[in-house]
Structure 1
Amino acid sequence: MSDNAKPSPALTFDDAVQIWLCHWTGEFQNRIAARLDVNPGRVNEVLKERKFIGSREAALQKRSA
């Protein structure tokens, strides 16, 4: 990592819920990642349910509310 590079912020559970909601509207993973300033792999981990287990269900509840 170069001297002036800073690490991406860590995703939160709320971010993961937003990832699901954006994904369901057809937004591309790389666009979601850019908006959250994270590596696209972090978005994919959420969508593959490797991280933030339960965020999909929370997003479904939020979407139907």
Structure 2
Amino acid sequence: MANPLVQDNRPRKTQFTFDEAIDVWLRRWSGQYHHEIAAAYVINWGRVSDVLKEQTHVGSKQEAARRIGRTA
């Protein structure tokens, strides 16, 4: 017999913190795709896109670049 479906009641993230936005940049630069980053944070991939388009958390790209010694 198949296992019954169990509802997952864990709350989902709806937005990133500034530090998470920095991590989004670092993950993207390391080669991860939007959907892979979103899955790691259990968040909609559109929120990842918002960070990468600098619509949210402006300055996170520069901070991520500073942390790894890269020019943004």
The 5 A counterparts of 1:1-65 are 7-9=11-13, 10-64=15-69
Superposition TM-score, scaled by structure 1 size: 0.85
User: Which protein is richer in helix relative to its size?
Assistant: 1
Deviation at 1:20, TM superposition (A): 0.2
Deviating above 4 A after TM superposition, structure 1's stretches of 4 or more consecutive aligned residues are 4-7
Q: How many residues matched?
A: 63
Deviation at 1:18, TM superposition (A): 0.2
- Distance in 2 between residues matched to 1:7 and 1:42, nearest whole Å: 16
Query: Higher Cα Rg: structure 1 or 2?
Result: 2
Deviation at 1:11, TM superposition (A): 1.1
Ranges in structure 2 where 5+ consecutive residues have no aligned partner: 1-7
Q: C-alpha root-mean-square deviation of aligned residues, in Å?
A: 1.8
Q: How many percent identity over aligned positions?
A: 37
